[in-house]
Chains A and B, each alone.
Chain A
Amino acid sequence: MNLRFVCIKLLRALVTALIVLTFVFVVLRLSGDPIESLVGDEAPPDVIEYYRAKYGLDRPIHEQYVLYFQGIARGDMGISFKDQRDALEVVLERVPNTLQLGLVSFAFSLLFGIPLGILAALNRNTALDRFTMGFAVFGYSIPNFFLGIILILGFAMWLRVLPSSGSGSLLHMIMPVITLGTAGAGSLARFARSSMLEVLNKSYMRAATAKGVPRLRRIAWHALPNAAIPIVTIIGFRLGDLIAGSVVTETVFAWPGVGRLLVTSVGSRDLAVVQAILTLVAFTMVIANLLVDFIYGWVDPRIRVSSTLEKD
């Protein structure tokens, strides 16, 4: 992988992170004086002045901007006013739960969606193909909060085989994973099918058939690597949906993760925690997109040679 490709992608990622963090800074400052919400309206002026000085809010705006980035670099995102602890700490202790749910759901949608899509493409216009397309449309049309509620009604209240909320055991994971993973499995199945179909129609596939390459080897060696390129991109996009989906899913199933923390913090306007989560999500997404770009460049040599400057 050439250096130029890596540098340009790194620069783009940095600028993206910078813009998101600047957005957070602007919105924070626009939304009013954080000290007032901290100490209340009736606080004496000298107390307000003390806190303003303590948090650097009496300085000019460009100095505050620098301070803000210094704070982020140190991992200091303010104090959660709900339990008076470091906001980042409050967020980080929820991360393992979210990762657990997210990774398992991600694996579920990959292991279910991609093989289904490939099999559908190989058996075009059969019952399996139609089932796959039906499932795909179902998967991305059903809102995940509604799917979650249907699952709770079916498995927790009617059949009484699964716990309806909470965490702790494998049983607790089943419904959240299905809720979070179905949309991803649906869109991956659809995408894998279409990119596989496209590859199967290529002339090199016909050439391989003419050469007498056995069917299994043709699919595994000639078709799959080429079909994998667009699938890798869509997997990168999935992460954003996964993060957004976890907000809803964790709330439906009372799963103690970052998503649920975000909803409760927004409800109680615990700005420091919201800011910490937003920063964390921005970094996660930027790093993930960067990784996808690199994987993409590695899978498809054409990318790193030709389109190092512009995507179009």
Chain B
Amino acid sequence: MAVEAAPRGLRVTPRKLAKYPPLVLICIGFLGLVLFAAAFADLVAPKPYTAQDLLNRLKPPSFLGGPAQYLFGTDELGRDVLSRLLYGIRVSVLVAILGTVIGAVVGTFLGFVAAHVRGIVEETIMMMVDVQAAVPFLIIALAVLAFFGNSLTLFIIIMGINGWENYARLTRGMVLSASTHGYAVAVRSLGAKPLRIYGRHILPNIASALIVQFTLNFPSTILLETSLSFLGLGIQPPLTSLGQMLGAGRNHLILAWWIAVVPGVTIFLTTLSISIVGDWLRDRLDPTLRGR
């Protein structure tokens, strides 16, 4: 064994790289790009996303013969599609991350509560889970938006409500089975309080399944946000999001298809990449599912 060896986890060896299929690497790369765009949209964007250039309206992308300064062309007000795309990615990713995190935290918490308290509380929580699973959430979201009107805060809360039931169900089941395992019984007999058992011992043990659930839920949150924004009932102007760009671009399909297609391709590639990476992650974390 060589003395100068770097810590094992940090070294990139060919063998280690081979564990990552090329497709997965490409997808991770694309997701990195999306996250980079979301984080640094204001630094990377060539123009402010609301800046209008009325002499250059509906110009095609520069690689299709449009003006050189507009890589992905311009929209009906002469705004740079690339800059709007970057800001749209920022809003969509931010809303999706916030929504998924809220759903994960609330759902996991309620799952723990259900497993700990049992009785009527558990029945109530599981009943809510059943109800939420029974009615398509897009319909509920639309109804809430109709009754309360639209605001960004409400919109993010709605995103959070989407999917909490998956975490609640998963957490409850896993906590119930983990509580009977030797390690949980052991720390309990040592006198540990429930909060300590759940937080320090059971949570780390069930975390990998929750992470997989997170990767499954994230694309559906993105799709919910983009669907609602596409319908004109989500993110409102002057803010922009990928779905909203697509919805607005729908009115100019004949003259300027790129306004709709550029954000559409971005949404598609993002959800596709997350699905592929998520599947791969699930296979790695849960070998019993391999090959399905």
Which residues does A use to contact B, with CB under 8 Å?
A: 12, 15-16, 19-20, 23-24, 27-28, 30-31, 137-138, 140-143, 145-146, 149-150, 152-153, 157, 194, 197-198, 240-241, 243-244, 247-248, 251-252, 262-263, 265-267, 269-271, 274-275, 277-278, 281-282, 285-286, 289, 312
Contact = CB atoms under 8 A, between A and B. Distances in A.
B149 A266 contact: no
Given A15-B127, A266-B142, A145 B230 contact: yes
B248 to A, nearest CB: 12
A142 B268 contact: yes
Contacts of A153: 253, 257, 261
Nearest to A164: B253
Given A19-B127, A244-B138, A266-B233, A194 B227 contact: no
B146 A271 contact: yes
A152 B253 contact: yes
B257 A262 contact: no
A247 B231 contact: yes
Among B142, B143, B246, B268, chain A packs the most CB atoms within 10 A around the CB of B143
Interface of B: 127-128, 130-131, 134-140, 142-149, 173, 219, 223, 226-227, 230-233, 243, 246-247, 250, 253-254, 257, 260-261, 264-265, 267-268, 271-272, 275-276, 291-292
11 contacts: A20-B134, A27-B143, A138-B272, A143-B226, A145-B226, A145-B243, A240-B134, A262-B139, A281-B139, A282-B135, A285-B134
Given A16-B134, A143-B271, A269 B149 contact: yes
Nearest to B172: A312
A262 B147 CA distance: 12
A20 B143 CA distance: 12
Q: Which DSSP category, helix, strand, loop or mixed, fits chain B's interface?
A: helix
A149 B260 contact: yes
Nearest to A15: B127
A149 B142 contact: no
Q: Which DSSP category, helix, strand, loop or mixed, fits chain A's interface?
A: helix
Contacts of A312: 173
A12 B130 contact: yes
Closest 10 CB pairs of A and B: A31-B147, A146-B264, A244-B138, A266-B146, A244-B136, A141-B272, A240-B136, A194-B292, A274-B146, A141-B271
A105 B45 CA distance: 41
Given A243-B136, A263-B142, 13 more contacts: A19-B127, A19-B131, A140-B275, A141-B268, A142-B271, A143-B264, A197-B291, A240-B136, A244-B136, A247-B227, A267-B233, A274-B146, A285-B134
